[in-house]
Structure 1
Amino acid sequence: MHYLMEKLQKDHRNLEKILDLLELQLDHFLAGRESDFDLKIELLEYMEAYADQAHHPLENIIFTATKPLADDRAELMDRLMQQHQELAHLTRTFRHSLENIFQGGVMPREELEVQGREFIALQRQHIALEEQEAFPIVDDLLREEDWKTILEQSPNYDDPVFDKPDKIRFQTLFEYLSQAGSENGTAS
């Protein structure tokens, strides 16, 4: 497996951690318990800053390179690239809803719950589809010369939370992950 595919799989594990944390915070909020709005907003800002601006664009380059080789599986590559656009829109919409509530706006809890649950479920379904169906196709079809071309087109962007932490922009998220890591006996 090419190291870019390993990087994408690592990104998926990290995105799953973010989705788990978002789901936990959403559960607390909807149950009327203490919930950290700064953290929820930072989680979505991370999704925008990394997933939508670096991770998905890299996948799009890879899926575009795979599509002409994929024959009857080319539609899957198109569907995943379309999902990237839809997920980016859902991320922005959900973040705006959270920011509106944080700033004193009014929104029914049920509406926020639908947005949040839909966002989390679709992100997880998307990751599963890539891991189970698309990545094996990519791994099977792309050759070294394809990877060279992909590398030339790839965005050069570090993960601002898990690889090179931006402790100012994602202060609340970094503190939460550091605290959770120390409570579990692991460093983050």
Structure 2
Amino acid sequence: MLARLNSDHKHITILLNVLKVKYRKLAEGEAVNFNLIRDVVEYMQSYAEHSHHPLEDIIYNYYLEKVSQEDSPNKLAEEHHQLIDASASLMSTLNLILSDVVVSREQLVVDLKEYVALQERHMQYEDNTIFPLLAQEMDEQDWGKVQELCSLKLIDDPLFSDNDNVLFEELRDYIKDDEIF
């Protein structure tokens, strides 16, 4: 399960790098494909926020119960809620742009940079703090129980799996063409 979460982080990093390229181009006054940017945010909403983060929450809550700290503040869950809000706000702005509503280019650059930074800080926290705790404290039996608890949230990654899902086809093609993959 931890390997899957680490793999998801690698995939999310690829997409955050796409957003970095796009906000840099925007900052330089170049044209960008807003549909592609929206696809990245939509992926974050549909996969990261509905499968990846809930898996992390289930696993971390199990860990907190195991070490008898279920009453402690849950920074991980708080960050997941912040990410949901940030994605929703960014998606709203992108939908305005795609509906031909004028939005400040400078503000969009700032919003994209802040979104990427928030995502990166969050993954750094998990990679450097949460995941090592889980690896250290949980044994095979724990991971078996967690697997059962997570079964309802386990879905195939709609972008980075080998299925025939066409939902993010343009984004998949972009990543392959730019050899980011």
Q: 1:73 to 1:122 in 2, by over 3 A?
A: farther
Q: 1:91 to 1:151 in 2, by over 3 A?
A: same
**Contact 2:26–2:109 (Cα < 8 Å) also in 1:** no
Aligned residues: 179
1:146 maps to: 142
What SS does structure 2 have at the residue aligned with 1:119? helix
Q: 1:71 to 1:113 in 2, by over 3 A?
A: farther
* 1:166 positional shift: 5.2
2:156 maps to: 158
* 1:51 positional shift: 0.6
Distance 1:150 1:161 in 2: 24
Deviates more, 1:124-133 or 1:135-144: 135-144
Distance 1:106 1:158 in 2: 36
- For residue 180 of structure 1, what is the amino acid of its counterpart? D
Higher relative contact order (CA 8 A, sep 6+): 2
Matches within 5 A, 1:64-79: 64-70=61-67, 75=72, 78-79=74-75
| Identity score, percent | 28
- For residue 38 of structure 2, what is the amino acid of its counterpart? I
Q: If the length of structure 2 is used for normalisation, what is the TM-score?
A: 0.90
Query: CA offsets, 1:22-55, max 9 Å, x none?
Result: 1111211222112111110101111111110110
- For residue 108 of structure 2, what is the amino acid of its counterpart? L
Segments of structure 1 that go 5 or more residues without pairing to the other structure are none
**Contact 2:96–2:102 (Cα < 8 Å) also in 1:** yes
* 1:70 positional shift: 4.2
Answering whether residue 16 of structure 2 is matched by residue 19 of structure 1, we say yes
* 1:164 positional shift: 3.3
Task: Give the alignment's Cα RMSD to 1 decimal.
Answer: 2.0
Q: If the length of structure 1 is used for normalisation, what is the TM-score?
A: 0.87
Segments of structure 2 that go 5 or more residues without pairing to the other structure are none
1:94 maps to: 90
